[in-house]
Each structure stands twice: as C-alpha cells, then as structure tokens.
Amino acid sequence: MVILSVDFGRARTGIAICDPGEMLASPVTVINEKYVPNLVQKVASLAAEKKAELIVVGLPVNMDGSEGESAQNARRFAESLRETCGIPVDMLDERCTTMEAHVFLNATNTRGKKRKAVVDAVSAVIILENYLAKRKSSGA
C-alpha cells in the first residue's frame, strides 16, 4: 500500500511516502504554507499525484502523554485532510521524531539553511518508518 506521511507544522510541513510493498520510506518535499486550508489542498494534491491509499499525520503528544494545542491543531488538520482526500487518515504519536531527525542530520553533517530545508521531510520519513514498523508488528 502506498502511504503518505505528514509532519504537520505551523510554517513548514514535511512529506514522505513509501513504496507499495511498504519497505522503503522516502522524503518527498517540505511545503512552506501557514494557511491551513491551502496546506490541506497541497497535501491532498500530492496524495492524489502519488496515488496514496492512506495518509499518516504525526501527532505531537507531550512527553507525559497529554495533548496540547499542537496536538489539537494536528487532529483538526487530519480531519480536514480526511474530508478533502476521501482516503483514510491515521495519526501516529510523533514524540522525539524531530530530535531523531536532528541526530540523523548531525551524522550526515547537514548544516545551516540546507538543514532547515530538510529537517521536516526527515521527520516525516521517521514518522512513516515508525508507522510501517507498527503495521508489521500488528500484522496489518
């Protein structure tokens, strides 16, 4: 199944996708859009273009497991995306994915403007990898 993942952000939103065999998650792009209705349309267009059958949106849960304003915004975004795309939208706890992305970018010596441009796409890849691992472990 082709799955698109979204690392939803206030200014930048990272997008990643996996192959139909769900073996490899790859970065697609970072969308620079602050107006949520426009962002929903852009993500929906990408999902259609890539023939995604499912979209996974990262849920920014607090470290104690509670949900704050960012999580509520992500849930609203996911619901708008579900209504616009007409395909299933799932959510996945994304705690620590941005930190993992920074660790990866440190290891690859990605710095400065280039780092800022790709960190959200790398976070989307990590969200998707975690989602795929969850699917495999549950036998989905």
Tell me the CA distances in angstroms from 87 to 42, 78, 99, one per residue in order: 15, 11, 30
Q: Where is average pLDDT lowest: 22-36, 38-52, 120-134?
A: 120-134
Round to whole Å and give the CA distance between 84 and 88. Answer: 11
What is the sign, positive or negative, of the torsion defined by CA atoms of 32, 8, 3, 132?
Answer: positive
Domains: count for the chain:
1
> Rounded to whole angstroms, how far apart are CA atoms 96 and 136?
21
Q: Does pLDDT of 79 surpass 90? A: yes
pLDDT of residue 78: 97
Q: Which domain holds residue 87?
A: 3-138
This prediction has a pTM of 0.85
| pLDDT recorded at residue 97 | 67
Give the domain CATH number at 47: 3.30.420.140
- How many DSSP H helices and E strands does the chain contain? 4, 5
8 A C-beta contact, residue 55 and residue 90: yes
Across all residues in the chain, what is the average pLDDT?
Answer: 88
Percent of the chain with pLDDT over 70: 83
Lookup: tokens for 119 = 């960190």
